């Protein structure tokens, strides 16, 4: 655990008592602060009280008297679409609002580092798609080369719940826009931006606010090195803002759309081959096509990002290449759950928006596609660009019929996962892929995308020969 610094003897309010909220309360207590907790859910309050914390209704008049700051869990809105009443009360009382990411960065370093030969490093990964895979891939590579590494943030452990760092160790953080938009302190050594596509637009009042939340990791943090995907205009703009000129290798540009040129530092993938160029010369190359855990161009972008981060730490290209081959992939992200009768079954339940689903569809040929759920803003038109890869779509969800009408391909309304899997498996032929890539949120039928992916996996395996 990382004890929170700077609040010893003070009252700090904690709003939201899920995983990150409870970890924050414990870290505040370890740092000598008194955590004053609140959650609208009585069960969450009971859990906190059982662990020795004081719960106080922060919605009541005078609740923020003698409170030093308010720490807000990521899922609680503080501005758009409507700020939580507790956040409004804090701001009205002049109380600063922060989150666990801000507390982590202000508390991570301590005096024990004076005895380290190599200072610990923090790599922070953000973007719309590929954050989890990129962060997990960096952590995997470091682990494979016996470099102490911890994976935290939006994946793995809560940021304040990790172990104190060792000499030369690395903390790899996956950070969502919900986390970057509010943190008052962000000082990663390496900041990484994968890509940008529409998501969480109600929370950020549109694409501009969404990009601004991501950009804060770079603008507020001033990382020693910025790794930026430049396949969208926002990434190009961000890379330009971070760079002092064409030869500034503090910025590494990455792409899967084109070959990058110039005297700077670039990593890109074309036709399945990763290339690294520095000062106009090629310094590394990896054939990604045979790496089973990283199928498709979207995963090749993740490989470029992870490669660039590990090269920034001084790892050699061949060392990174060997580690890429042993990467098993993450659950619910292009995860091969079965292969039988010449058919491959892939769980990409994490493809919760149109862009990530389109990338999944482009990664495979001859697809029996299971899709649908709680549709997000923007429509489904972009999915039709990959229709040549789809033999048929099997649509699930409460609004399956309306979802299917937007697809320019053969569809079958199945509604339930069980029916979709049964129909797709019955019609799948040798050489085809049965792919779950919903292009929608899961909340109309499931608690989360993990539960949806597990349901798909169970339905597939239950129907395979013993």
Distance between CA atoms of 23 and 290, rounded to whole angstroms? Answer: 40
80-100 tens-digit pLDDT: 999 999 999 999 999 999 999
Given 76, 98, 120, the domain boundary residue is 98
Per the annotation, does 130 bind a ligand? yes
**Alpha carbon separation from 408 to 364, 379, 413 (Å, rounded):** 18, 13, 14
CATH number at residue 341: 3.90.190.20
> Residue 297: which domain range?
108-325
Residues 266 and 296 in one domain: yes
Would you say residue 2 lies in a domain?
A: no
Distance between CA atoms of 180 and 138, rounded to whole angstroms? Answer: 20
Residues 81 and 136 in one domain: no
Would you say residue 3 lies in a domain?
A: no
User: What is the average per-residue pLDDT within 419-438?
Assistant: 97
Q: What is the pLDDT of residue 386?
A: 80
Residues 211 and 189 in one domain: yes
Given 325, 346, 376, the domain boundary residue is 325
Q: What is the pLDDT of residue 293?
A: 85
Return the residue matching tokens 């700090």.
Answer: 12
Given 66, 98, 130, the domain boundary residue is 98
Per the annotation, does 132 bind a ligand? yes
Residues 342 and 416 in one domain: yes
Residues 346 and 306 in one domain: no
Residues 143 and 94 in one domain: no
Per the annotation, does 133 bind a ligand? yes
223 Cβ contact partners less than 8 Å away, ≥ 6 residues apart: 124, 187, 188, 189, 190, 191, 217
Backbone φ/ψ region at 213: left (φ over 0), alpha (ψ -120 to 50), beta = alpha
Whether 221 has a pLDDT exceeding 80, the answer reads: no
Q: What is the pLDDT of residue 136?
A: 95
Residues 194 and 299 in one domain: yes
Whether 415 has a pLDDT exceeding 90, the answer reads: yes
Beta carbons of 261 and 278 less than 8 angstroms apart:
no
Q: What is the pTM of this model?
A: 0.85
Per the annotation, does 127 bind a ligand? yes
Residues 317 and 350 in one domain: no
CATH number at residue 17: 3.40.50.720
Q: What is the pLDDT of residue 377?
A: 73
Distance between CA atoms of 136 and 131, rounded to whole angstroms? Answer: 8
Number of domains in the chain: 3
Residues 342 and 375 in one domain: yes
Q: How many CB atoms lie within 10 A of CB 207?
A: 15
Residues 248 and 167 in one domain: yes
Residues 427 and 362 in one domain: yes
High-pLDDT (> 70) share of the chain, %: 100
Per the annotation, does 94 bind a ligand? no
Residues 89 and 189 in one domain: no
Per the annotation, does 20 bind a ligand? no
Q: What is the pLDDT of residue 25?
A: 97
Residue 451 DSSP class: H
308-364 tens-digit pLDDT: 999 999 999 999 999 999 998 888 888 889 999 999 999 999 999 888 899 899 888
Would you say residue 234 lies in a domain?
A: yes
Q: What is the pLDDT of residue 200?
A: 81
């Amino acid at each position: 655990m990382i004890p929170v610094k700077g609040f010893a003897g003070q009252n700090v309010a904690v709003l939201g008592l899920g995983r990150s909220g409870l970890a924050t309360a414990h870290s505040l207590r370890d740092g000598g602060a008194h955590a004053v907790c609140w959650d609208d859910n009585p069960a969450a309050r009971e859990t906190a009280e059982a662990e020795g914390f004081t719960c106080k209704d922060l919605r009541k008049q005078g609740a923020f008297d003698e409170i030093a700051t308010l720490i807000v869990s990521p899922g609680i809105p503080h501005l758009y679409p409507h700020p939580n009443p507790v956040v409004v009360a804090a701001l009205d009382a002049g109380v600063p609002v922060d989150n666990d990411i801000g507390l982590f960065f202000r508390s991570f370093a301590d005096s024990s580092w004076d005895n380290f030969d190599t200072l610990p490093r923090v790599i922070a990964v953000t973007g719309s798609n590929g954050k989890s895979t990129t962060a997990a891939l960096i952590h995997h590579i470091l682990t494979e080369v016996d470099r102490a590494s911890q994976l935290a943030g939006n994946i793995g452990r809560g940021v304040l719940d990790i172990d104190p760092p060792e000499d030369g160790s690395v903390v790899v953080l996956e950070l969502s826009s919900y986390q970057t938009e509010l943190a008052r302190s962000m000082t990663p050594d390496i900041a990484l931006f994968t890509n940008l596509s529409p998501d969480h637009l109600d929370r950020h009042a549109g694409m501009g606010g969404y990009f601004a939340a991501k950009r804060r990791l770079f603008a507020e943090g001033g990382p020693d090195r910025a790794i930026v995907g430049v396949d969208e205009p926002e990434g190009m703009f961000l890379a330009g803002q971070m760079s002092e000129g064409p030869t500034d290798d503090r910025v590494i540009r990455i792409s899967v759309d084109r070959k990058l040129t110039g005297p700077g530092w670039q990593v890109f993938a074309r036709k399945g081959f990763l290339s690294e160029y520095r000062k106009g010369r090629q310094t590394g190359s990896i054939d990604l096509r045979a790496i089973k855990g990283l199928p498709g161009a979207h995963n090749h972008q993740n490989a470029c990002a992870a490669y660039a981060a590990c090269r920034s730490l001084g790892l050699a290209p061949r060392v990174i290449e060997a580690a890429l081959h042993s990467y098993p992939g993450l659950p619910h992200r292009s995860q091969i759950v079965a292969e039988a009768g010449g058919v491959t079954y892939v769980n990409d339940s994490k493809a919760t928006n149109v862009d990530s689903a389109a990338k999944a569809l482009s990664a495979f040929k001859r697809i029996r596609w299971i899709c649908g759920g709680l549709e997000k803003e923007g429509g489904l038109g972009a999915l039709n660009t990959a229709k040549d890869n789809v033999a048929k779509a099997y649509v699930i969800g409460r609004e399956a019929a309306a979802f299917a009408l937007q697809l320019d391909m053969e569809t079958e309304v199945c509604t339930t996962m069980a029916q979709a899997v049964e129909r797709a498996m019955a019609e799948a032929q040798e050489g085809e892929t049965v792919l779950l890539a919903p292009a929608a949120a899961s909340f109309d039928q499931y608690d989360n995308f993990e539960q949806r992916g597990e349901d798909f996996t169970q339905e597939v395996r239950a129907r395979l020969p013993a």
